[in-house]
């Protein structure tokens, strides 16, 4: 098995609805913000509100 070479990130897996996937990819492309950074920000904001 290939060792994961990520140093400052961790991999995780999840699923999205097709609509959310499309919107996320379009937003990322339009803003030039990587999806991983969008998810970091969205998840932290969600957690801080709970």
pLDDT in tens, 1-50: 566 688 889 988 999 999 999 999 999 999 999 999 999 999 999 999 98
Per-residue pLDDT at 38: 98
Alpha-carbon distance of 23 to 19, in angstroms, equals 6
Per-residue pLDDT at 1: 58
State phi, psi for 47 to the nearest 5 degrees.
Answer: -65, -40
Q: CA gyration radius for the chain?
A: 13
Per-residue pLDDT at 2: 63
Q: Which long-range CB contacts under 8 A does 44-50 form with residues at least 24 apart?
A: none
User: The tokens of 33 are what?
Assistant: 């913000």
Whole-model pTM: value is 0.81
Alpha-carbon distance of 10 to 38, in angstroms, equals 15
Contact 36, 28 (CB under 8 A): no
């Amino acid at each position: 098995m290939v060792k994961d070479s990520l140093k400052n990130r961790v991999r995780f897996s999840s699923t999205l609805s097709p609509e959310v996937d499309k919107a996320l990819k379009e937003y990322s492309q339009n803003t030039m913000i990587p999806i991983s950074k969008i998810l970091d920000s969205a998840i932290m904001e969600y957690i801080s509100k709970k």
